[in-house]
């Protein structure tokens, strides 16, 4: 089942999937907010791929939350399209991460959207907390020089 | 904010809302699975209306889960339509409930779907458990003779 | 990208995926209505696999709608679980299909739910219409004797 | 049913609703991407309130799409919370709009998130097109001086 979580290649994470009925709306294209679901799935797959599944983090009372996000929708996609999210780590601090996440159409590699998202780690009291050392080390391995 | 949870009239609960963009799909109508979300919202509103908000039940480690469900989709609805769920309690046992839930178009009162759903109460170990006496009493007040 | 649409083996279609954050709710498990999304994705993948992508059918003004459905929820699943839908064609008439769709946990093959769904084909006027001959032939190839 | 689309007061649009089960995730709070659904519902209600329901615009082959968006998540909300979106028009050009949309908790008026979104109008060929004069006039009536 290796395919379920995408793959890391040259410090980028690639995550492929097909657009489903439930992702589209009456306009005939994917509902805009679904792009945020798509990039979240990709981020979660990346962090799982690094050895830190979200459910394990939750057991340690660690949760990763979205602090802020900027997104541009550049092209639409629709039912049946195969698309992929390319995720790059941009910045890695002690308690937060910045990721750049592009969505592309697989068919013609056209860029569909660009997202920059800041994540932050919270403890069980919902207070910002340090990223575990082992995860930080893994994350550093995919940081560009 | 009384309108948020619908109203109980003649032992039926009525819950009105408008169909949103996110509810529709590329077919131009509401995505079929959303009907299950709609009836769940209506059930939750009914139980809240009886004085038992889901978040209070959760604090007491009580959760209400769907055990089985039969649904017929009879007519479609689309963006902007005002629709309502009419919920009737059909059966009330010690640890489970059966509800009949119809969805109608507000415009012409056409029936859109009919659902019969069996709910069951679980404790924190995910085992079937008795419905609290006070809730049972409230539920009995809306049971047909 | 063959993995995106599952596989047909011994007249059954198998469709694997991972449970995402967006699939779960405050109860800590997958929101019940999401099971309907899961089985719809699996059905659509099966029909695509047979050579009839939904977007091609839509271009021919053919849509496949859910007429009725019975579902039992037997076990829960949660964030990170790998689960699969096993779909079997039960009946194939001129304008409708009946499918049996089971969801299993990949980890221990425990059955999570069982669904029987009746689909019907509609033309652009939303009237029941015959399943195209070529699709009917493909469907018959996966009917049990 | 006037309550379904919120209300305009002092050039702001207010839109109240209750957080549902389906909005939450295993973290116990609302899934971050749902905030985008919430503000979209509010925007659509505002434009409907001005006399331009989305379904009417679609019939005229006009669609309103999200071009870009910035969002900060400042506080969480959970099952049962009553929250509201306060929408203000910030800028209104010939073919695009900028809206500021804040989400608040109704209980204590705590700010939950802040969004700035740029919308653009597309014709049936998915090209940017002018906002209809009558809508533009209505929009100008809620622009701050």
Dihedral (CA of B122, B125, B130, B132) sign: negative
Distance from C-alpha of D39 to C-alpha of D34, rounded to nearest angstrom: 9
Residue in D1, D22, D78 closest to B37 by CB: D22
pLDDT of residue A75: 96
Distance from C-alpha of D74 to C-alpha of D83, rounded to nearest angstrom: 14
pLDDT in tens, chain C (145 residues): 678 999 999 999 999 999 999 999 999 999 999 999 999 999 999 999 999 999 999 999 999 999 999 999 999 999 999 999 999 999 999 999 999 999 999 999 999 999 999 999 999 888 999 999 999 999 999 998 7
Tokens 């082992």, residue located? A134
Domain boundaries, chain D: 2-140
Residue in C21, C27, C29 closest to D31 by CB: C21
Which chains neighbour B (Cβ–Cβ under 8 Å, 3 or more pairs)?
A, C, D
Dihedral (CA of A34, A39, A41, A44) sign: negative
pLDDT of residue C1: 66
pLDDT of residue B42: 98
pLDDT of residue A132: 95
Q: Average per-residue pLDDT in chain A? A: 96
Residue B68 burial class via C-beta count within 10 angstroms: exposed 0-12, middle 13-18, buried 19 and up: middle
Give me the catalytic one of D10, D23, D25, D81.
Answer: D25
User: How far does the CA of residue D61 sit from the closest CA of chain C (Å)?
Assistant: 18
CB contact under 8 A, A33 and B25: no
Count CB pairs under 8 A between chains A and C.
56
Distance between the two ends of chain C, CA-based, in angstroms?
31
Q: Which residue of D has its CA nearest to C32?
A: D22
Residue B116 burial class via C-beta count within 10 angstroms: exposed 0-12, middle 13-18, buried 19 and up: middle
Q: How many CA atoms lie within 13 A of C92 on its CB side?
A: 16
User: How far does the CA of residue C1 sit from the closest CA of chain A (Å)?
Assistant: 8
* Set of chain D residues whose Cβ sits within 8 Å of the Cβ of A75: none
* Set of chain C residues whose Cβ sits within 8 Å of the Cβ of B65: 27, 32, 73, 76
> Which stretches does DSSP call E strand in B10-110?
12-18, 63-73, 82-92, 96-105
User: In the annotation, is C25 catalytic?
Assistant: yes
Residue D118 has pLDDT above 70, yes or no: yes
* Set of chain C residues whose Cβ sits within 8 Å of the Cβ of A42: none
ipTM of the complex: 0.96
Residue B127 burial class via C-beta count within 10 angstroms: exposed 0-12, middle 13-18, buried 19 and up: exposed
pLDDT 10s digits, D23-69: 999 999 999 999 999 999 999 999 999 999 999 999 999 999 999 99
How remote is the C-alpha of D34 from its chain's centroid? 13
Choosing among C26, C36, C76, C81, which should be mutated to test the D contact, i.e. which has the most D CBs within 10 A? C26
Give me the catalytic one of A25, A81, A106, A108.
Answer: A25
* Set of chain D residues whose Cβ sits within 8 Å of the Cβ of C78: 26
Residue A145 has pLDDT above 90, yes or no: no
Q: What is the CATH number of domain D2-140?
A: 3.10.129.10
* Set of chain A residues whose Cβ sits within 8 Å of the Cβ of C5: 18
Give me the catalytic one of C25, C81, C106, C108.
Answer: C25
pLDDT 10s digits, A18-73: 999 999 999 999 999 999 999 999 999 999 999 999 999 999 999 999 999 999 99
Tokens 């740029």, residue located? D118
pLDDT of residue B126: 87
Residue in B58, B78, B82 closest to D1 by CB: B82
- Using CA atoms of B37, B38, B40, B43 in order, give the dihedral in degrees to the nearest 10: 170
pLDDT 10s digits, A61-103: 999 999 999 999 999 999 999 999 999 999 999 999 999 999 9
CB contact under 8 A, A40 and C22: yes
pLDDT of residue A126: 87
- Using CA atoms of B38, D79, A48, A37 in order, give the dihedral in degrees to the nearest 10: 50
Q: Which tokens hold the place of C81?
A: 């679980």
Number of CB atoms found within 10 A of residue C37's CB: 20
pLDDT of residue B21: 98
Classify residue C105 by its DSSP letter: E
User: How far does the CA of residue D60 sit from the closest CA of chain A (Å)?
Assistant: 12
Q: Which residue of D has its CA nearest to A39?
A: D33
Residue D145 has pLDDT above 90, yes or no: no
pLDDT of residue D1: 65
Which chains neighbour D (Cβ–Cβ under 8 Å, 3 or more pairs)?
A, B, C
CATH number (3.10.129.10, 3.20.20.60, 2.60.40.10, 3.40.50.10140) of B2-141 reads 3.10.129.10
How many helices (H) and strands (E) in chain A?
3, 6
C4 inside 8 A of chain D by CB? no
What is the DSSP pairing of strand C82-92 with strand A82-92?
A: unpaired
pLDDT of residue B1: 65
Residue B2 has pLDDT above 90, yes or no: no
Q: Average per-residue pLDDT in chain B? A: 96
Rounded average pLDDT over D102-114: 98
Helix (H, G, I), strand (E, B) or coil at D7: strand
pLDDT 10s digits, B65-96: 999 999 999 999 999 999 999 999 999 999 99
* Set of chain A residues whose Cβ sits within 8 Å of the Cβ of B21: 25-27, 31
For chain D positions 15-34, those within 8 Å of chain A (CB to CB) are: 26-27, 32-34
pLDDT 10s digits, D66-99: 999 999 999 999 999 999 999 999 999 999 999 9
Burial per residue of C5-36, b for 16 or more beta-carbon CB atoms within 10 angstroms, e otherwise: bbebeeebbbbbbbbbbbbbbbbbbbbbbbbb
Residue A1 has pLDDT above 80, yes or no: no
* Set of chain A residues whose Cβ sits within 8 Å of the Cβ of D58: 26-27
């Amino acid at each position: 089942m290796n395919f379920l979580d995408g793959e890391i290649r040259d410090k980028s994470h690639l995550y492929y999937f097909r657009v489903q009925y439930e992702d589209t709306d009456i306009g005939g294209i994917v509902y805009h907010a679904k792009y945020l679901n798509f990039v979240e799935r990709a981020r979660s797959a990346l962090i799982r791929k690094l050895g830190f599944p979200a459910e394990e983090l939750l057991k340690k009372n660690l949760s990763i939350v979205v602090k802020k996000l900027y997104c541009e929708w550049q092209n639409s996609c629709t039912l049946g399209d195969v698309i992929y999210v390319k995720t790059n780590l941009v910045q890695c601090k002690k308690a937060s991460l910045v990721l750049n996440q592009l969505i592309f159409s697989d068919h013609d590699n056209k860029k569909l959207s660009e997202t920059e998202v800041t994540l932050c780690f919270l403890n069980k009291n919902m207070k910002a907390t340090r990223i575990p050392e082992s995860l930080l080390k893994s994350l550093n391995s995919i940081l560009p020089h």
